[in-house]
Structure 1
Amino acid sequence: MRKLSLVALCLFFNLITKAQDKAPAYPLITHDAYFSIWSFGDGLNQSVTKHWTGKEQSLLGVIKVDGKFYRFLGEESKSFKEILPAADALKYQASYSFDKPEAGWENNSYNDNAWKKAEAPFGDDNSAKTKWNSDDLYFRRTFNIANVSAAKKYLKLNHDDNVIVYLNGKVIYKKNGWVSDYTYLPIKDGILQKGKNVLAIYVKNTAGGRYLDAGLVEEDADNVNIAPATQTNVSIKATTTSYTFSCGHVELQVGFTSPLLLNDIKLTARPISYINYAVKSTDGKPHSVDIFFGASSNLAVNTPNQSVSAWKSSKNNLSILKTGTVEQPVLKKRGDDLRIDWGYLYVAVPTKFNATQFIGTQNESLKSFVDSKYPEQAQVLNSKSLNLSSIIPFGSVSSTPVDKYMMLGYDDLKSVEYFGEKLQPVWRLSGSQQFEDQLAEANTQYPSLKNKCAIFDAKLYADAEKSGGKEYADMCKMAYRQAIAAHKIVYAPNGDILFLSKENFSNGSINTVDVTYPSAPQFLVYNPELLKGMLNGIFYYSESGKWKKPFAAHDLGTYPLANGQTYGEDMPVEEAGNMIILTAAITKAEGNVKYAEKHWEVMSVWANYLLREGFDPANQLCTDDFAGHLARNSNLSVKAIVALGAYAQMAQLLGKADVATKYRTAALQMARNWMKLADDGDHYALTFNDKNTWSQKYNLVWDKLLKLDLFPKEVYKKEINFYLTKQKDFGLPLDSRRTYTKSDWIMWTATLADNETDFRKFISPIYRFATETESKVPLSDWHETTNGKMTGFQARSVVGGYFIKMLADKWNIK
């Protein structure tokens, strides 16, 4: 009997596990590149929630059931006490040398009186107090400790580049490479000692920047730690991520909804998400329930050492908490691994729910919840790492679910800079200038938006499943919010919509054309106006005369400053081809040629360039720039040929018959020549001059979708058949040079298949990557096909390319 019960229990948990959706990371709050919070890993309460960059941006949720506490959202952030403060906590001086000292310099007995002393941090950027421009830095801090506590000790370190760290002559840390922020590294017990101690560090600069700051901290012994609830389910839908927990004899369902309904641009641009809670008894008895929610002020800083203020207020039938940095450096930083440090985070709860709100540190706030003693101050000024806390009483809960919700929003004041002008968020362009009024509108709309999102989520999944099966549908719903939230919607001074991407964790560029290109299918399916917003800035850049080259620019700058290209090298064939192909796609999606006509003059310049230079490309980069330069790239040649065919198609629609004939004739001849030059027997080669190679010819998909008929269908079939012999466990490699791949391009390649069976053969391995990878970050589009680990990139918009098969079906392309 006992064995039978054990088997039944195992089956039960197996069913629970199978029911849960799997993803590398789970989207919670997703609006733009700065307001984007994720749960990294499989359990909502197994780690601190993070910004897509991986930096902690804590959302914490605790439910109290009959006096017992269960943590369901996030994990408590560690709080530390300073032992030896780093420069972000307290000014200090250190002894240093740029010259190699005698042996034993790291030991406590070494005499460093001859060394120089200066204020930290050391480095070569504007944040450094002491300039360091050489290759080597030797650093020593001598300090005394009266008593060594039993608390866990950590090295707090920020370094660039290679580093060796000694404490009292013993190596406690070594690393080749650099970090962009402070890391906390555990120190073995017994190394730190009562009395005199010496922290000694050697840093070697190998390239690029230089930086060093270091200190020692210990865990705060007063940290409140609350036991986790048992997560029984997680479900990802296009606009919502939902979790279910068992908390004693109560079931808790938590949903995170970012209502990104692309047919409503104003709504999509409004940076407000909902968190809803549904609580019910599971044993037929009533239970007393309260829910605690805390949002860290670190959602409004780039680094946690920045000073913040917070306020409590009420307006429009809402209880509101607000926080932001003291400095408010609006649009003062640009780059990739950055978070917003201007504007204000808002937490709002409808007053009808009788929430108690207060401000403090996270640990103080948890103590307040546990002790039911709440601070009453309405503001906290010039502090650090505050927590915006709300307690929502649910009263006595029975088997009938009780539903309540709250909102998180972010007012970024100014969203991007566009050719010298700071652009306002969309919601400020009409109506009230107060963000509290946006929260009030969102509150009023909650019931209808919840319903609209549910309907949309179901339809997206059904459409995707019809197009490519369950695994394909799962990939599409996983990608939907990520693709949108890597953009910002604004309007240019001339009234044009701008939908500006950030090239997340590749180089931080804004409005990169070869990021727009793979992202486009999702927006062609759901709102082509947004694809126009991805092209408008690039067209303006050329048409205004600011960009003078005969091909399109690579980007408009480095996010969030769109003042002109900052990428160091052009991609002439790549970007000219992308712009023309996507304009043709808009023409097809809208059923008219108005957008192409508006930009015909500059597209004609680009088409003429491709006519001259596109067929047999010179040594240059393409969108797969991580793979390096490549001359005579056959897939890049396909892009040029397809772009010329697309240009001819638009010319015909515009009544320019002579132009259409000229360019279509040229494109057809190029396609014939391509088939001869790239032919390698059972497939087509990577380059025209290097046979026994191969590559995914994903650019062919637009020949198929736009019905250009430049290449015979036999070309698609030959490539598909060959690719099916080259698949690895986690996908089809990008080409024969390496075993890594790009999942967006696999989706495009798969869409060349003429039957559902072959299509699904390409999808299954990348679905396996998405659900089994050890790389627990927002979905990476660049991964290794042999082991399923990410190679690079994360949280990028290019996963919008997964919708290419749905686009083909929408256009009735089989």
Structure 2
Amino acid sequence: MFYRCNSLSLKCMFATPLVLALLLVFMNLSDGRSQSLIGVASAALNPPATPLITIDPYTSIWSFGDQLNDQPTRHWTGRSHALNGLLRVDGTVFRFMGNPTFVGDTVARSGQRMPYEAKFRTDSPGSDAWMQPTFDDSQWQHGQAPFGSRPTDKTAWTTNDIWVRREVILDQVPKGRLLVNASYNDNYELFINGQRVAGAGGVSPNYELTSTGRLAADLLRPGRNMIAYHSQNFGGPQFIDLGLLQERSMDLRAATQTSKQLSATQSQYTFEAGGVRLTVTFMAPLLMDNLDVLSRPVQYVTYSAQAIDGQLHQVEIYQDASSDIAVDNPGQPVTWRRGRVAGKQPLHWLRVGTAEQKVLGKKGDNVRIDWGHLYIAAPDGPGTSHRIGTLAGSVNQFEREGLVSDIRAGGRPNMITDSTVVLATSFSLGRVADKPVERHLLIGYDDLKAIEYFGQPLNAWWRRYDKQIGSIGSELIMEKALSAAESDYFTLKQACTTFDKTLYADALKAGGTTYADLCVLAYRQAIAAHKLVAGPDGTGLASQPLFFSKENFSNGSIGTVDVTYPSAPLFLKYNPTLLKGMLEPIFHYSESGRWTKPFAAHDVGTYPIANGQTYGEDMPVEECGNMLILTAALAHAEGNANYARQHWPVLTTWVDYLKKDGFDPANQLCTDDFAGHIARNANLSVKAIMGIASYGYLAGKLGDSHTETEYLTLARSLAKQWITLAKDPTGTHYTLTFDNPGTWSQKYNLVWDKLLNLNIFPQEVAQQEVAFYLTKQQPFGLPLDSRRTYTKSDWIAWTATLADKQADFETLIQPILRFATETPDRVPLNDWHETTNGHKVGFQARSVVGGYFIKMLEK
């Protein structure tokens, strides 16, 4: 039975006030140490990147890698979105967050302004050693970068793949980390002197700077160096070009990071420096039973300091946030402002945003917001001060004086600049002993308008009462949000801690320690890849919540059905209203007459513009099956089919399509489109059969027993035919495509037969598949199918849930955690990876990891 919660109060999901009070008593029994998180993942989880601020696809800041103070904090795309933190102990300054950097010298120029010579080929090199310096490339073609199919590209590339080798001679090796400056469609892998150092997926027509996280001295050498890269194209124009620069950092000593803990809504780091322990906690109150809090674009950073050597220490803390968080590309002119919210809990705030403020003026994948404003706020109090200025000026003042102060007066907007500025706050904690002293900061982002929906700009859900006009009115609305967030701080701190404990315990019971760790890792990422907005059909309580996903680093589509499908288990578990908000735009698109095809659309646009499908090719069977299955899952979760009743005519149109064309699919794309077209896809056929069965299930929920019997009977009849066509001659499993012996694939779509208890396929089908999959495991997971050794981790979780034995489930799940912990690509979790070596293949920070929660639905 699915768990559901429709209440908007915090009491629905969480503990009673008495339990919360007892919990707080327990937490305050301090022995002089800062308390650890409750509901934290096990020590076995070492996330490839740690979420810090996770508001939505635009305001999404992560620590890539293991140490919070090793490199700049970054947007999920890899662009620096810097949060810098400093600890001053008895006059000595230590860096605990970020690593203030600047772009240094060019190491190997890109072809952006001046072409460079390289060797290339567009057919396979025929050797895994093609990137090695000693590889014989004498038969390769010569060409100039950029390579591509656009008129501006210097060397034509019109095939699916290209391999490039470029020799670079260096007099000396730079000392900083390496940055990649790249433009590409659709992805690339970069090798330096034979070592793989970077990779990216998606489309980036503009040159993007991303960090390799590697020191130049570890990869390059004086004299000859081989820069090699491989790029693939899955659709649209081909283009690839890249260069290397060095990233230099300010000379600030690092505090020693002693621990890192992750729970569903919180990330906590502990540092030691100068006889002081500092605990820093990032809290994202993404509590799905309270949509106002979920949508409110404000999150928290808490600092707790205590002496650990028996001495008293004078302690100050510095925190800044860069204006780069509010621009798409460095160099965009910005303006800034400061103000104060009076009242019971007064706040001082700083804000920054672009001068242009072209609201909803950009769309795409590798794109960041450049409208609205970044806000930093802190409760007024003695020892708290603020500054807007350059990074160097702010840091230098804090080093000298232990505080920051702004010479600019009042709240007037300041001059426009195309240089990076920081919003800086300092806290003086006074003389600190062994009892923890705590402060906190609020970080928020007001996007003004969130989504354009068929020509109408929509407000974020928290702004649904917004009737203010102009910049001052907008500022007042954000001030109210900051004030409410401050008032809720302690209540939300309790609620998040309780929820984290509950989620971990439930996941542990459902699937074991490894599974619980994966659910913790996925939670914030899955939610923050969406935007919750108020629908256009009224205002106030009458507004309908719409929940738009973004296809992060897969093409930037908004409201994609085959992204909603794998993401759905998380939202079915905690609040089905959000899944309705994901499905509603697709239903509306068809019912409005804008989409006239007899099957469901793939998407409703390119984020954040939802004016109609922009994806270049339809997925007819895929999307019809997805919509029917998810509507049935909603009915199961809510105990009624009222939502299906609202959309019955279009559901009928889609099931008619599946009856006609779903069982034996033609050559078409499915959700695994990166693997290419395929005809007679057995797993896609399962989806069509389950879509037909779902329609029958819904009809039964609506009281139409005749239609229920008709469609469930049809689905069971098709399942028998499927078994005959898909059974491999060995009798050990079922094939990738009909009548194609020796092939295989994960049949993850079968999971809904089990979860909805429809009994369409005999149980032995799934169990035979599971037994076969256990013979195909690789070190980092079960391959997607027999064509390649890469996989999708969300589908592994679904496939594992088919298992009747807990041991088999855990055996299939464990390599996913190994991948997350050991992958060399330390970025927000990517769901498409290589099972043999743990390398990222493509995608990152996507919502589909919400699919990990499917095992929790079973219970």
Tell me, yes or no, if the aligned pair for 2:360 and 2:451 is still in contact at 8 Å: yes
Task: Find the aligned partners of 2:438 and 2:45 in 1 and give their Cα distance.
Answer: 23
1:51 equivalent to 2:51? Answer no
The one-letter code matched in structure 1 to 2:447 is D
1:71 aligns with 2:95: yes
Segments ≥4 residues shifted beyond 6 Å: 85-88, 94-98, 122-125, 148-157, 175-179, 184-191, 204-207, 209-214, 216-220
Question: Hey, what does 2:579 align to over in structure 1?
Answer: 531
- Tell me how far apart the structure 1 counterparts of residues 422 and 834 of structure 2 sit (CA, whole Å): 39
- The one-character-per-residue Cα deviations of 1:409-428 (angstroms, maximum 9, x if unpaired) are 00001101110111112222
AA aligned to 1:69 is V
CA distance in 2 between partners of 1:455 and 1:728 (Å): 37
Alignment of 1:675-690 (within 5 A): 675-680=723-728, 681-690=731-740
1:327 to 356, 360, 363: 356
Structure 1 residue aligned with 2:803, among 737, 753, 757? 753
2: distance between equivalents of 1:535 and 1:789? 33
- Answer yes or no: is 1:345 the counterpart of 2:374: yes
1:405 equivalenced with 2:434 (yes/no): no
Cα displacement (A) at 1:190: 11
Question: 1:106 corresponds to which residue?
Answer: none
- Contact residue 782 and residue 791 of structure 2 kept, 8 A: yes
Distance 1:785 1:154, change over 3 A: closer
- CA 412–260 in structure 1, closer or farther in 2 if over 3 Å, else same: same
SS class of match (1:314): strand
Cα deviation 1:584-604 (Å, max 9, x = unaligned): 000010011100100111000
Paired position in structure 2 for 1:561: 609
Note the C-alpha offset of 1:312: 2.2
Question: Which structure 1 segments of 5+ residues have no match?
Answer: 1-16, 89-93, 99-121, 138-147, 163-174, 192-203, 810-814
C-alpha distance after superposition, 1:653-699 (max 9, x if no partner) = 21222222221111110011111111111111111120111111000
| TM-score normalised by length of structure 1 | 0.83
Q: After alignment, is 150-159 or 17-26 more displaced? A: 150-159
Alpha-carbon deviations, 1:581-623, whole Å to 9, x = none? 0000000100111001001110000011101111111111110
Shift of 1:364: 1.8
Q: Is the 8 A contact 2:78 2:210 kept in 1?
A: no
Change (3 A) 1:385 1:701: same
Q: 1:713 to 1:96 in 2, by over 3 A?
A: closer
Deviation of 1:374 (Å): 3.8
Query: 1:227-276 CA distances to partner (integer Å, 9 max, x unpaired)?
Result: 11111111110000001111121100000011000011111111111000
- Gaps of at least 5 residues in structure 2 are 1-40, 118-145, 158-170, 186-197, 224-230, 469-473, 538-542
Match of 2:33 in 1: none
Corresponding residue for residue 191 of structure 2: none
The SS at the match of 1:298 is helix
Q: Which structure 2 residues correspond to residues 298-309 of structure 1 after superposition, within 5 A?
A: 298-309=324-335
Which of 651, 654, 670 does residue 718 from structure 2 map onto? 670
In structure 2, relative to structure 1, the CA distance for the partners of 1:136 and 1:259 (3 Å cut) is same
**RMSD of aligned alpha carbons:** 3.4
Name the CA shift for 1:54/1:697 in 2 (closer, same or farther; >3 Å): same
Alignment partner of 1:510: what SS? coil
Change in Cα spacing, 1:297 to 1:671, as seen in structure 2 (3 Å) is same
Letter in 1 for 2:515: Y
- Paired position in structure 2 for 1:170: none
Show the counterpart of 1:619.
667
Q: What SS does the aligned partner of 2:102 have?
A: coil
Aligned equivalent of 1:499? 547
* Residue 5 (structure 2) aligns with: none
| Aligned counterpart in structure 2 of residue 469 of structure 1, from 496, 509, 512 | 512
Contact 1:123 1:132 (8 Å CA) reproduced: no
- Which position in structure 2 is the counterpart of 1:718? 768
- The aligned residue for residue 376 of structure 1 is 407
Q: Deviations over 1:100-154 (max 9, x none)?
A: xxxxxxxxxxxxxxxxxxxxxx9999xx9xx9476589xxxxxxxxxx9999799
Report the CA distance shift for 1:729/1:500 in structure 2 as closer, same or farther (over 3 A): same
Decide whether the 8 Å contact of 2:383 with 2:429 is kept in 1: no
1:272 equivalent in structure 2: 298
User: Equivalent residue for 2:758?
Assistant: 708
Aligned to 1:576: 624
Q: Which amino acid aligns with 1:301?
A: V
- Give the equivalent residue in structure 2 for 1:635: 683
Aligned counterparts of 1:565 and 1:724: Cα–Cα separation in 2: 39
CA distance in structure 2 between the aligned counterparts of 1:275 and 1:96, rounded to whole angstroms: 46
1:233 maps to: 259
Alignment of 1:119-138 (within 5 A): 132=152, 135=155
1:692-745 residue CA offsets vs partner (Å, 9 max, x unmatched): 111110000000101110011111111111111111111111111111111111
Which amino acid is 1:335 matched to?
G
Q: 1:217 to 1:486 in 2, by over 3 A?
A: closer
Instruction: Name the residue aligned to 2:283.
Output: 257
Q: Provide the secondary structure at the position in 1 that maps to 2:381.
A: helix
* Aligned partner of residue 416 in structure 2, secondary structure: strand
| Mapped partners of 1:697, 1:235: distance in 2 | 35
1:467 Cα deviation from its structure 2 partner: 0.4
Q: 1:176 to 1:740 in 2, by over 3 A?
A: closer
Sequence identity percentage: 51
* Equivalent position of 1:802 in the other structure: 852
Give the letter aligned to residue 487 of structure 1. Answer: H
Question: Which structure exhibits the higher relative contact order, with contacts defined as CA atoms closer than 8 Å and separated by 6 or more residues?
Answer: 2
Q: Tell me: CA distance 1:18–1:334, structure 2 relative to 1, closer, same or farther (3 Å).
A: closer
| Structure 1 contact 496–536 (Cα < 8 Å) conserved | no
Pick from 381, 388, 393: which aligns with 2:423? 388
- Deviation (angstroms), 1:496: 2.6
Q: Which amino acid aligns with 1:346?
A: Y
Residue of structure 2 equivalent to 1:23: 47
CA drift at 1:790: 1.2
**In the alignment, residue 500 of structure 2 is paired with which amino acid?**
D
| Distance 1:205-1:784 versus aligned 2 partners, 3 A rule | closer
Measured in 1, the distance between the counterparts of 2:275 and 2:465 equals 48
Query: Is 1:488–2:536 an aligned residue pair?
Result: no
Indicate the residue corresponding to 1:167 in structure 2. Answer: none
Task: Count how many residue pairs are aligned between Structure 1 and Structure 2.
Answer: 726
Residue aligning to 2:122 = none
Q: 1:747 to 1:289 in 2, by over 3 A?
A: same
Q: Secondary structure at the match of 1:552?
A: coil
1:785 corresponds to which letter in structure 2? T
